[in-house]
Structure 1
Amino acid sequence: MKQKCVAIAAALALLAPALASAEVKVGILATLSGPSADVGRDQYDGFLLAVEQGGGKLGGQPVRLIKEDDQARPDVGLAGVRRLLELERVDVVAGLTFANVLVALLGKIGATDVPFIGSVAGPSTTAGSQCKANLFITSWQSDAPAEAMGKYLTDRKVGRVAVAAPNFLGAKDKVAGFKRYYRGELVEELYTPMNQLDFSSELVQLSAGRPDGIFSFYPGGQGVTFVRQYRQAGLHDKVPLFSVQTVEGTTLGALGEAAIGSIVAETWTPDAGNPASRQFVAAFEKRFGRTPSSYAAFSYDSARLLGAAITGTGGDVSNRKALTAAIKSATFASVRGAFQFNRNNYPVQNYHVYKVVAGADGKPRFATLARDVLVNHGDAYAGQCAQKAG
């Protein structure tokens, strides 16, 4: 009997390293085609960079990434997440680009213990009444950047503003956030189809009321088209453009001179001065040959967060609830500096306002206009989260 126990113990000792080095499967569900494909591409590349920097590992464990393109369509996203959970049996799902897709996935998220770590979409419902213990968002709740812009314009007494955004939940959340903090007059509020790429008639309508500024949110390729047409219509010289996630890393290169003069609100841009951010920007530009967007930065943070959580579990991700708890409490070097989750698994963070200017090389870059417009800012919906998520 004693010899048998010794043999079992020896076998378990040999088995433990094999278990600890088991491959971690991460499904990346993102919008990888269509007008906003650049957003999903940056999400994937940001996550990939962190894995590559770890020698193909996170938290010391080998990682395999499995891509699914949701095409910004809820039905396609739902089919994709089913494949990831039921066929691929992933340990974690990351990405999550559009709010309408994320909301469609809530039933599947709530029915599994697999953790989801989103790096763009942050719809109000998932931050409040439909928060999930296994859903984490590393970007922001959708309202928050727009709240910062609303406060900035109110502080500077910009009295009359027109608003334009695509017609989907995430965009309406941003407009709601803007209105929550803006105390001036809204002279126009327009919502356009998600795939629209001709804004000529909308620009005429937006400028007809002679606003003191126009506030917009158009992600990816829509943002490029909107800003170009804004300048072509001569509005840049007449009406300032204030935006969130319209002029950013994925669009700056394509926009070139057309972006100069735009004013944006965000929690991070490539000019952030902390060491983790500088390292990330340099590595991303070297690896992919372009400037990273905040989407890439938030996804990079997602991977770093997951790596810290895997370390916290001792490398064993088979216990999903333990992994979820480790994600909630993990500490890592964020590109934004200090990072913490609110009770609803959304970040508490600072927001700033930037202006796009011409750099010394003539290329557009972000220059800080106002730091800490909102400080240690939690979203407006955390109190509606019935339980402390995670």
Structure 2
Amino acid sequence: MNLANPSARRRRFLRPSLAAVALCGILGATASFAQEPVKIGFIGTLSGPGGALGQDQYDAFMLAIKDGKLGGVPVEVVREDDQLKPDIGVQAATKLLKSEKVDIITGVTFSNVMMAIHKPITDAKVFFIGSNAGPAPIAGKECSPYFFSTSWDNDMLHEAGGQLASDLGYKNMYVMAANYQAGRDAVSGFKRDYTGKVIDEVYTQVNQPDYSAEIAQLQAAEPDAVYVFYPGGMGVNFVKQYRQAGLLGKLPLISVSTIDGSTLPALKSLAVGAITSAPYAPNLDNAQNKQFVEAFVKAYDRQPSMYAAQSYDAANLIASALKKVDGKLDDKEAVLAALKAADFDSVRGAFKFDSNQFPDAPFYRVDVVEGANGAELQAKNPIVIKTRANFAQQCPMK
């Protein structure tokens, strides 16, 4: 080539430039075919006395995401802390819907927050997968085709508790709960399935730190056993004070969502001897649960709670639906059908949705025992619930 020839020099330098343009075109075309991530909003109580519950939900959800994907589909998670305040929950939901424009919302720890945000989210026709809070109204008359739960409705959770107290033969029970939607649902659910006499029902303030006056009152009532619903820090405070009063081991304590994987690290052996009714325990004997417990302990150095288990199920439910629709969410009916199919392995064992899109799944008697590495939760026999509110019958979806 004659480099003195200007046209030759021009041709020599033009060729790489054209090649570069062609390469850019190819890369641009490839990028245009790259799938946009499905945007998922997570709302939970991540601070304050109930913060451990929401953190377990979030940690388990993120554990299920493999290489940034659910069901082979890229996902992006935006996290919001509702601070156990309904108004903050509404602000978080509004942000996720309007600013972040999420495709799916999941999580929600407490029922008072769920009651505030359920309708705005479902009215927007955004897919909503709850993984803990289950207030009775949204399981019944206020149900929505856009809401699915991987936990339970509040009454169902405590119907199992009432049945357990009946099975244990206690004739006179003293019942205590925090005074909010889930606490009121707890007592109504317990009484529905309990065949004995409730000699008193006491409602205390949410996040109340001192229960000494109430513990003195229940001692004076001389019940056969005590049933309580105190999630998160409330449960830690109550059980410690119950033990300090010399009652644990003397006056049987039956609970739901009070002594679990989220509170046991703080209670340790103080909780040994208590009996709980629960939808989950780390020793459930199924393959999905075994790999979940192993992965959760390895990632976070603690045992998973029921909040973690339910959120892990929520992630895998979403993954199963995204896989079925290949990540395409425009056909909402197809996505709803994929979610309804619940084509995933639950850590709880057998799992399917009732017509109100709450689970038809088992509950267990779970004892707090002294294990090789300290206090631990051990599921025993399943609880057969004999009386049910069956909110699915009140739900217009059939």
What TM-score do you get using the length of structure 1 for normalisation? 0.91
- Closer, same or farther: CA 212–45 of 1 in aligned 2, 3 Å: same
Aligned: 1:347 with 2:359: yes
Deviations 1:158-197 (A, max 9, x none): 1111011100001111111110000111112111111211
Please say if 1:387 is aligned against 2:397.
yes
Kindly indicate whether the alpha-carbon contact (under 8 Å) linking 2:249 and 2:273 is maintained by their aligned counterparts in 1.
no
Corresponding residue of 1:312: 324
Partner amino acid, structure 1, of 2:55: R
Tell me the equivalent position of 1:190.
202
Change (3 A) 1:134 1:358: same
Deviation (angstroms), 1:250: 0.5
The residue type paired with residue 177 of structure 1 is G
In the other structure, the counterpart of 1:235 is 247
Q: Is the 8 A contact 2:71 2:323 kept in 1?
A: yes
Post-superposition offset of 1:381 = 0.7
In 1, distance between residues paired with 2:395 and 2:339?
18
Q: Within 5 Å, give how 1:229-378 maps onto structure 2.
A: 229-361=241-373, 363-374=374-385
Question: Could you tell me which residue of structure 1 aligns to residue 6 of structure 2?
Answer: none
Q: Equivalent residue of 1:81, what SS?
A: helix
Q: Secondary structure at the match of 2:174?
A: strand
| Unpaired stretches in structure 1, ≥5 consecutive residues | 1-10
Equivalence for 1:154: 166
Q: 1:91 to 1:82 in 2, by over 3 A?
A: same
How far did 1:252 drift? 0.9
The residue identity in structure 1 corresponding to 2:378 is A
* Residue type at the aligned position of 1:238: K
User: In the comparison of the two structures, how many residue pairs are matched?
Assistant: 372
Q: Deviations over 1:67-98 (max 9, x none)?
A: 11111111110110000010000010000111
State how far apart, in whole Å, the 2-side matches of 1:145 and 1:131 are: 18
Alignment of 1:31-46 (within 5 A): 31-46=45-60
User: What amino acid is the match of 1:253?
Assistant: P
Q: What do residues 10-48 of structure 1 show as CA deviations (whole Å, max 9, x unaligned)?
A: x9xx97995672201110011111110001000100100
Q: 1:125 touches 1:131 (CA, 8 Å); kept in 2?
A: yes
How far apart, CA to CA, are the structure 1 residues paired with 2:347 and 2:32? 33
CA deviation profile, 1:286-325 (whole Å, cap 9, x unmatched):
1011111000000000000000000111221243443222
Inter-partner Cα distance in structure 1 for 2:33 and 2:113: 34
Quick one: which amino acid aligns to residue 37 of structure 1?
G
Q: Distance in 1 between matches of 2:384 and 2:45?
A: 30
Determine the C-alpha separation between the residues in 1 that align with 2:388 and 2:297: 31
Q: Highest CA radius of gyration, 1 or 2?
A: 2
What is the percent sequence identity of the aligned residues? 44
Q: Structure 1 residues 16, 107: closer, same or farther in 2, change over 3 A?
A: farther
Instruction: Please give the per-residue CA displacement for 1:335-363, whole angstroms capped at 9, x wherever unaligned.
Output: 012211110010001111121110123x1
What are the ranges of 5 or more consecutive residues in structure 2 without an aligned counterpart?
1-24
Indicate conservation of the 8 Å contact 2:193/2:388, yes or no: no
2:38 aligns with: 24
